[in-house]
Amino acid sequence: MCGIAGIIHKGGAVADVGSEMTRMLQSMKHRGPDSTGFALYSAPSEELVLRIKLADPNAARTIEFSELIEQRRAELEARLGKVGARIDRFEGVTDYAYRAVIDYEGDLKSLVDYVEAISGAEVLSVGHSLEIVKDLGDAVSVAAQYGLDHFTGTHAIGHVRMATESDVDIAGAHPYWAYPFGDVAVVHNGQLTNYHQWRRRLERLGHRFQSECDSEIIAVYLAEKLNHAVPLETAIKESLDDFDGVFTYVVVTRDELGVAKDVMAAKPLVLYEGEDLVALASEEVAIRAVIDHEIDTHDPYEGEVLVWHR
Amino acid sequence: MAQVVGERRIRYDARGLVEPDAEAPKTSKIEDGRAVFDATGYSTRRVNLEIRWLLVDQGVRDITVLNPGAKHSIGVAILERCRLRFEGSLGYFGLGLIDGPEAEVAGRVGWSVAENMMAGVVVIDKNAGSLAGAALRGGDLVVRGDVGARTGIDQKGGTIIVGGNAGLMTGFMMQRGRQIICGNVGPGLGDSMYDGAIYVAGKVESLGVDCVEAELTDTDEEMLKGKLTAYGIEHPGSFRKFECGRKLWNYDSLEPNERKLVL
């Protein structure tokens, strides 16, 4: 089933998007209790933020586990140094998830490829304002684990997952970062039936896929278009023709939040457009979780594409 | 969890969403046979238990629920004749499986409102999501705003009235009953409908499989006028009528397993 949500504050206003998204996702826990994910956008900075996991959260906590993590962590720092990235901050958020703030000017793809060559390492996101946090459990427990309550920013998307097509692990959890393009993330509710065709097409163009999840295609597909200077709205419209299946997805870039609904209108989406913010979700309860007064909401129609700027 | 011998109770609650031990809050203010209940902070199950407590134990026949908070499955399976008013929006499956109530929602509803309603009236002041009036069997479902896709899917009776626009495949697999759409409708109107009639005042994007335009009779005009007047919806001027083209009717031919038996 899965549940998706998005919120964007207009006029570049900064708010507690971490706690807002937590409330939105927690109210949709019944749509997906397996894992919860956040893609949060803070005000853009000069430095890059790297969210990375070095092991599977399900792994047994043996002595070998901590040794392994220590080795991988050292290797990560060494590799970042080798590609010319200066590490400003490096913090362990859990015993397997790390957050690094780095100064790096070079090519993102080569950086990520080099880092991911470390066994067990997976880059969850890279960007000047994007940070992806995803883990097993409901929104409140993931937010507490990663300290998201004080995360301020302009926009965010999130996802609660009921695993149907692939495993219950972090690799299968949304949001998906659009490797190797910074600051692009996607959450998706639905199934893409021409997944394998698109995966092969994109792999031929040199993209890597971290999971077996069909939703990852959307992120990479859109980022590939954005990289060729296609405007976000056009890219999303083209995706409606290119993707088969049923879907509602939300995509975010550094400045924009876009949403698409398939031509069969098979997956839900409720939309609230206020003067200072736009909130959307699979269910109205999620929007009510962040807005306390009576509001008018509606369901976008089949094949509808909408884009907002922060 | 209480162990009750000889009574079936839900005991499996792995996700913590079932609330097997929930009880009616009994916080409604009852005056002159009317009750007002503030649903703020209560779960779906407790809101429904409160409505049931008022109807069954207290014999109240006029209930107002404040702050329903777009929760799902509110006001379902009510088989008493009563008046219900919700001051706010409902989530999915609101007022489903009802037989008798006259309900009003001063807000919006999500997917599948009034599904399988047997009799009664449900009036929504704002928009409704997809599948409004799914498998409706009787009564009137009135949405003053817009509705999503597949309105009245598998409708088997009753009337659905939409003041605004309707989305994709309105009247999909409809079998009986009426739909009155005052605005525009999306593609695939009346796709695979077996019977019944759909009246549209606005633009029709496209017709679905085996849906054809029919002649609007005086009886139709009279019925439309009556229904719209009853709910205070402005008559948009002129309607077009759509019904089944009967090209897909193959009731004479035997099913493959029946043929085996007969031949």
pLDDT digits (tens, 9 = 90+) for B197-256: 999 999 999 999 999 999 999 999 999 999 999 999 999 999 999 999 999 887 777 777
d(C-alpha B188, C-alpha B166), whole Å: 11
Q: Tell me, yes or no, whether A153 and A276 share the same domain.
A: yes
Boundary-marking domain end, from A80, A95, A128: A128
Residue B11 has pLDDT above 70, yes or no: no
Cβ–Cβ below 8 Å for B69 and A30: no
A137 touches B: beta carbon within 8 Å? no
d(CA B230, CA B54): 29
Put simply, the answer to whether A294 touches B107 (Cβ < 8 Å) is yes
- To the nearest whole percent, how much of chain A has pLDDT over 90? 78
- Write down the pLDDT at residue B9: 65
Closest to A211 (Cα-Cα) out of A267, A260, A162, A165: A165
- Closest Cβ–Cβ partner in A284, A294, A302 for B149: A302
| CB atoms A287 and B70 under 8 Å | yes
Mapped onto helix, strand or coil, the DSSP state of residue B234 is coil
CB contact under 8 A, B168 and A30: no
Tell me which amino acid residue B1 is. Answer: M
- Give the model's pLDDT for residue B262: 72
Query: Is residue A7 domain-shared with residue A98, that is, in the same domain?
Result: no
**Number of compact structural domains in chain A:** 2
Residues A222, A288 within the same domain: yes
A99 and A49 fall within a common domain: yes
Q: What is the pLDDT of residue B256?
A: 77
- Containing H/E element for B5? none
pLDDT confidence of residue B1: 42
One-letter identity of residue A155 = H
CA distance B70 to chain A (A): 5
Q: How far is B114 from chain A (nearest CA, A)?
A: 17
| Digit-coded pLDDT (tens) for A194-207 | 999 999 999 999 88
- A213 catalytic per annotation: no
What DSSP state is assigned to residue B235? Answer: P
Q: Please give the pLDDT value at position B16.
A: 66
If asked whether residues A244 and A301 sit together in one domain, one would say yes
Q: Are residues A216 and A144 in the same domain?
A: yes
**Average pLDDT value for residue range B97-120:** 96
Q: Which domains does chain B have, with CATH numbers?
A: 29-245 (2.160.20.60)
Last residue of a domain, one of A98, A128, A158: A128
Q: How far apart are CA B72 and CA B113, in angstroms?
A: 10
Per-residue model confidence (pLDDT) at position A25: 97
**Is there a single domain that holds both residue A187 and residue A100?**
no
Helix (H, G, I), strand (E, B) or coil at A161: strand
Q: Are A104 and A213 in the same domain?
A: no
Tally the C-alpha atoms within 13 A of residue A66's C-alpha that lie toward its C-beta. 3
B199 and chain A in contact, CB less than 8 A: no
For residues B40-55, average pLDDT: 95
CATH code: domain of residue A297: 3.60.20.10
For B121-152, how does the pLDDT look when each residue is reduced to its tens digit (9 = 90+)?
999 999 999 999 999 999 999 999 999 999 99
Query: Are A73 and A217 in the same domain?
Result: no
Q: Could you tell me if B200 and B189 are in contact, meaning their C-beta atoms sit under 8 angstroms apart?
A: yes
Amino acid at B192: S
Average pLDDT of chain B, as a whole number: 92
CATH label of the domain that carries residue A82: 3.30.70.1110
Which whole number is the average pLDDT over A107-121? 92
Q: Are both A267 and A192 inside the same structural domain?
A: yes
Average pLDDT, chain A: 93
Q: Which of A94, A128, A162 is the last residue of a domain?
A: A128
Q: Looking at the complex, does the CB of residue A240 fall below 8 Å from at least one CB of chain B?
A: no
| pLDDT for the residue numbered B2 | 45
Task: Confirm or reject contact between A270 and chain B (CB < 8 A).
Answer: yes
Whether A57 and A179 share a structural domain: no
Residue whose C-alpha is closest to residue B46's, from B70, B81, B71: B71
Regarding whether A107 and A197 lie in a shared domain, the answer is no
Lowest mean pLDDT segment, chosen from A16-30, A53-67, B74-88? A53-67
Structural domain including A79 reads: 45-128
How many whole angstroms separate alpha carbon B197 and alpha carbon B187?
17
* pTM of the shown model: 0.90
Query: What is the rounded average pLDDT of the residues A173-202?
Result: 93
